[in-house]
Amino acid sequence: MSLASLDQLCQKIGYEFKDTSLLTMAVTHRSFSADNNERIEFLGDSLLNMIIAEALYRRFPGIDEGDLSRIRSVLVSGKTLATIALEFDLGRYLRLGAGEKNSGGQRRASTLADVVEALIGAIYLESGFDVCRERVLAWFAPRLSALNPESSHKDAKTRLQELLQARKQPLPNYQLIETAGADHQQTFVVACSVSLLTSSVSASGSSRRKAEQAAAEQVLLALKEVE
Protein backbone atom coordinates (compact mmCIF):
# COMPACT_ATOMS: atom_id res chain seq x y z
CA MET A 1 0.00 0.00 0.00
CA SER A 2 1.37 3.42 -0.96
CA LEU A 3 2.07 6.18 1.53
CA ALA A 4 -0.63 8.26 -0.16
CA SER A 5 -3.19 5.53 0.40
CA LEU A 6 -2.13 5.14 4.03
CA ASP A 7 -2.51 8.89 4.56
CA GLN A 8 -5.97 8.86 2.98
CA LEU A 9 -7.11 6.05 5.22
CA CYS A 10 -5.72 7.77 8.32
CA GLN A 11 -7.65 10.91 7.45
CA LYS A 12 -10.87 8.96 7.04
CA ILE A 13 -10.62 7.15 10.37
CA GLY A 14 -9.37 10.25 12.21
CA TYR A 15 -6.18 8.68 13.50
CA GLU A 16 -2.63 8.96 12.14
CA PHE A 17 -0.49 5.89 12.63
CA LYS A 18 3.13 6.49 13.46
CA ASP A 19 3.85 2.80 12.90
CA THR A 20 2.38 2.22 9.45
CA SER A 21 3.12 -1.50 9.72
CA LEU A 22 0.28 -1.75 12.22
CA LEU A 23 -2.11 -0.10 9.80
CA THR A 24 -0.91 -2.32 6.97
CA MET A 25 -1.46 -5.41 9.09
CA ALA A 26 -4.97 -4.25 10.03
CA VAL A 27 -6.05 -4.14 6.39
CA THR A 28 -4.35 -7.41 5.38
CA HIS A 29 -6.68 -10.37 4.85
CA ARG A 30 -5.49 -13.90 5.52
CA SER A 31 -5.78 -14.65 1.79
CA PHE A 32 -3.00 -12.12 1.13
CA SER A 33 -0.41 -13.12 3.71
CA ALA A 34 0.27 -15.27 6.75
CA ASP A 35 1.07 -11.97 8.48
CA ASN A 36 -2.55 -10.84 8.51
CA ASN A 37 -5.13 -9.10 10.69
CA GLU A 38 -6.73 -12.09 12.43
CA ARG A 39 -4.91 -11.75 15.77
CA ILE A 40 -5.25 -7.98 15.90
CA GLU A 41 -8.92 -8.32 14.96
CA PHE A 42 -9.40 -10.64 17.97
CA LEU A 43 -7.96 -7.92 20.19
CA GLY A 44 -10.09 -5.22 18.58
CA ASP A 45 -13.27 -7.25 19.04
CA SER A 46 -12.69 -7.47 22.80
CA LEU A 47 -11.84 -3.77 23.04
CA LEU A 48 -14.92 -2.78 21.06
CA ASN A 49 -17.22 -4.77 23.32
CA MET A 50 -15.63 -3.23 26.41
CA ILE A 51 -15.77 0.36 25.11
CA ILE A 52 -19.38 0.14 23.95
CA ALA A 53 -20.42 -1.66 27.15
CA GLU A 54 -18.92 1.13 29.26
CA ALA A 55 -20.54 3.83 27.11
CA LEU A 56 -23.97 2.22 27.43
CA TYR A 57 -23.53 1.65 31.17
CA ARG A 58 -22.85 5.35 31.69
CA ARG A 59 -25.46 6.61 29.19
CA PHE A 60 -28.38 4.50 30.46
CA PRO A 61 -28.15 4.09 34.26
CA GLY A 62 -31.75 2.90 34.49
CA ILE A 63 -31.47 -0.03 32.06
CA ASP A 64 -30.76 -3.53 33.34
CA GLU A 65 -27.91 -5.72 32.18
CA GLY A 66 -30.06 -7.83 29.85
CA ASP A 67 -31.25 -4.84 27.84
CA LEU A 68 -27.78 -3.27 27.88
CA SER A 69 -26.43 -6.49 26.42
CA ARG A 70 -29.04 -6.47 23.65
CA ILE A 71 -28.29 -2.83 22.76
CA ARG A 72 -24.58 -3.61 22.67
CA SER A 73 -25.12 -6.62 20.41
CA VAL A 74 -26.81 -4.40 17.84
CA LEU A 75 -24.11 -1.73 18.01
CA VAL A 76 -21.19 -4.16 17.66
CA SER A 77 -22.90 -6.43 15.12
CA GLY A 78 -21.21 -7.27 11.87
CA LYS A 79 -23.87 -5.28 10.04
CA THR A 80 -23.08 -2.09 11.98
CA LEU A 81 -19.34 -2.56 11.60
CA ALA A 82 -19.68 -3.18 7.87
CA THR A 83 -21.68 0.05 7.58
CA ILE A 84 -18.90 1.95 9.36
CA ALA A 85 -16.38 0.32 7.01
CA LEU A 86 -18.37 1.56 4.02
CA GLU A 87 -18.44 5.06 5.50
CA PHE A 88 -14.62 4.92 5.58
CA ASP A 89 -14.51 3.30 2.12
CA LEU A 90 -12.32 0.59 3.64
CA GLY A 91 -12.84 -1.81 0.75
CA ARG A 92 -10.47 0.12 -1.47
CA TYR A 93 -7.63 -0.22 1.05
CA LEU A 94 -7.89 -3.96 1.74
CA ARG A 95 -4.98 -6.23 0.90
CA LEU A 96 -6.61 -9.37 -0.49
CA GLY A 97 -5.36 -12.48 -2.24
CA ALA A 98 -6.22 -12.75 -5.92
CA GLY A 99 -8.99 -15.30 -5.39
CA GLU A 100 -10.60 -13.33 -2.60
CA LYS A 101 -10.39 -10.13 -4.59
CA ASN A 102 -11.91 -11.69 -7.69
CA SER A 103 -14.81 -13.06 -5.63
CA GLY A 104 -15.67 -9.60 -4.30
CA GLY A 105 -13.95 -9.81 -0.91
CA GLN A 106 -13.55 -6.02 -0.79
CA ARG A 107 -17.35 -5.76 -0.61
CA ARG A 108 -18.01 -8.68 1.73
CA ALA A 109 -19.65 -7.44 4.93
CA SER A 110 -17.86 -9.90 7.22
CA THR A 111 -14.46 -8.97 5.79
CA LEU A 112 -15.17 -5.25 6.15
CA ALA A 113 -16.39 -5.71 9.72
CA ASP A 114 -13.22 -7.62 10.60
CA VAL A 115 -11.07 -4.74 9.35
CA VAL A 116 -12.87 -2.25 11.59
CA GLU A 117 -12.10 -4.46 14.59
CA ALA A 118 -8.50 -4.85 13.43
CA LEU A 119 -8.12 -1.06 13.20
CA ILE A 120 -9.37 -0.77 16.77
CA GLY A 121 -6.77 -3.30 17.89
CA ALA A 122 -4.04 -1.51 15.97
CA ILE A 123 -4.88 1.89 17.49
CA TYR A 124 -4.83 0.33 20.96
CA LEU A 125 -1.44 -1.31 20.40
CA GLU A 126 0.08 1.98 19.27
CA SER A 127 -1.58 4.53 21.56
CA GLY A 128 -3.22 2.70 24.45
CA PHE A 129 -6.75 2.36 25.73
CA ASP A 130 -7.74 6.01 26.21
CA VAL A 131 -6.91 7.03 22.64
CA CYS A 132 -8.52 3.85 21.32
CA ARG A 133 -11.71 4.54 23.28
CA GLU A 134 -11.81 8.14 22.01
CA ARG A 135 -11.65 6.95 18.39
CA VAL A 136 -14.24 4.22 18.82
CA LEU A 137 -16.67 6.57 20.54
CA ALA A 138 -16.15 9.12 17.75
CA TRP A 139 -16.97 6.47 15.13
CA PHE A 140 -20.07 5.37 17.04
CA ALA A 141 -21.20 8.82 18.21
CA PRO A 142 -24.12 9.20 15.77
CA ARG A 143 -25.39 5.74 16.62
CA LEU A 144 -25.06 6.25 20.35
CA SER A 145 -26.85 9.60 20.13
CA ALA A 146 -29.69 8.08 18.12
CA LEU A 147 -30.38 5.27 20.58
CA ASN A 148 -33.89 5.06 21.98
CA PRO A 149 -33.69 3.09 25.22
CA GLU A 150 -37.37 2.23 24.95
CA SER A 151 -36.96 0.29 21.73
CA SER A 152 -33.36 0.04 20.52
CA HIS A 153 -32.49 -2.72 22.97
CA LYS A 154 -34.85 -5.11 21.23
CA ASP A 155 -33.22 -7.36 18.68
CA ALA A 156 -34.64 -7.85 15.20
CA LYS A 157 -36.40 -11.14 15.97
CA THR A 158 -38.15 -9.59 18.97
CA ARG A 159 -39.19 -6.49 17.01
CA LEU A 160 -40.52 -8.62 14.16
CA GLN A 161 -42.47 -10.85 16.51
CA GLU A 162 -44.02 -7.86 18.29
CA LEU A 163 -44.93 -6.21 14.98
CA LEU A 164 -46.69 -9.35 13.75
CA GLN A 165 -48.50 -9.82 17.04
CA ALA A 166 -49.69 -6.20 16.94
CA ARG A 167 -51.14 -6.86 13.48
CA LYS A 168 -52.65 -10.15 14.65
CA GLN A 169 -50.55 -12.16 12.20
CA PRO A 170 -48.91 -15.59 12.64
CA LEU A 171 -45.40 -15.65 14.07
CA PRO A 172 -42.47 -15.75 11.62
CA ASN A 173 -41.08 -19.05 10.43
CA TYR A 174 -37.30 -19.51 10.30
CA GLN A 175 -35.78 -22.29 8.23
CA LEU A 176 -32.12 -23.20 7.89
CA ILE A 177 -31.54 -23.65 4.17
CA GLU A 178 -27.76 -23.93 3.88
CA THR A 179 -24.59 -24.45 5.90
CA ALA A 180 -21.26 -23.91 4.16
CA GLY A 181 -17.59 -23.70 5.02
CA ALA A 182 -15.17 -25.50 7.30
CA ASP A 183 -16.27 -26.43 10.82
CA HIS A 184 -14.36 -23.55 12.42
CA GLN A 185 -15.61 -20.96 9.93
CA GLN A 186 -19.11 -21.90 8.85
CA THR A 187 -21.68 -19.68 7.22
CA PHE A 188 -25.37 -20.31 7.88
CA VAL A 189 -28.17 -19.22 5.56
CA VAL A 190 -31.66 -18.87 7.03
CA ALA A 191 -34.95 -18.05 5.31
CA CYS A 192 -37.62 -16.14 7.20
CA SER A 193 -41.26 -16.32 6.07
CA VAL A 194 -44.11 -14.08 7.26
CA SER A 195 -47.71 -13.91 6.14
CA LEU A 196 -47.43 -10.25 5.12
CA LEU A 197 -44.85 -10.97 2.41
CA THR A 198 -45.41 -13.08 -0.69
CA SER A 199 -41.95 -14.67 -0.53
CA SER A 200 -39.43 -15.57 2.14
CA VAL A 201 -36.34 -13.47 2.85
CA SER A 202 -32.91 -15.05 3.28
CA ALA A 203 -29.81 -13.86 5.13
CA SER A 204 -26.53 -15.34 6.27
CA GLY A 205 -24.44 -15.25 9.44
CA SER A 206 -21.56 -16.93 11.21
CA SER A 207 -24.05 -18.80 13.42
CA ARG A 208 -27.66 -19.88 12.99
CA ARG A 209 -28.74 -17.32 15.59
CA LYS A 210 -26.98 -14.49 13.75
CA ALA A 211 -28.45 -15.60 10.44
CA GLU A 212 -31.95 -15.61 11.94
CA GLN A 213 -31.41 -12.10 13.34
CA ALA A 214 -30.16 -10.89 9.97
CA ALA A 215 -33.14 -12.44 8.19
CA ALA A 216 -35.55 -10.83 10.65
CA GLU A 217 -33.90 -7.45 10.05
CA GLN A 218 -34.34 -7.87 6.30
CA VAL A 219 -38.01 -8.80 6.76
CA LEU A 220 -38.56 -5.66 8.85
CA LEU A 221 -37.03 -3.57 6.07
CA ALA A 222 -39.16 -5.33 3.46
CA LEU A 223 -42.32 -4.72 5.49
CA LYS A 224 -41.52 -1.00 5.65
CA GLU A 225 -41.28 -0.90 1.86
CA VAL A 226 -44.74 -2.43 1.37
CA GLU A 227 -46.48 -0.24 3.93
Backbone angles phi, psi at 54, to 5 degrees: -65, -45
Q: How far apart are the C-alpha atoms of 180 and 190, rounded to whole Å?
A: 12
Q: How far apart are the C-alpha atoms of 82 and 110, rounded to whole Å?
A: 7
Cβ-based neighbours of 206, under 8 Å, separated by 6 or more: 78, 110, 185, 186, 187, 188
**Catalytic residue (one of 7, 38, 45, 212):** 45
Give the residue among 48, 40, 46 at the shortest CA–CA distance from 17.
40
Q: How many Å is the maximal CA-CA distance in the chain?
A: 59
Q: Would the annotation count 114 as a binding residue?
A: yes
Give the residue among 79, 63, 216, 219 at the shortest CA–CA distance from 152.
63
45 counts as catalytic: yes
Q: Would the annotation count 41 as a binding residue?
A: yes
**Catalytic residue (one of 7, 16, 54, 117):** 117
Q: Would the annotation count 150 as a binding residue?
A: no
117 counts as catalytic: yes
Binding-site annotation, residues: 41, 114, 117
Binding-site annotation, residues for Mg(2+): 41, 114, 117
- Which residues does the annotation mark as catalytic? 45, 117
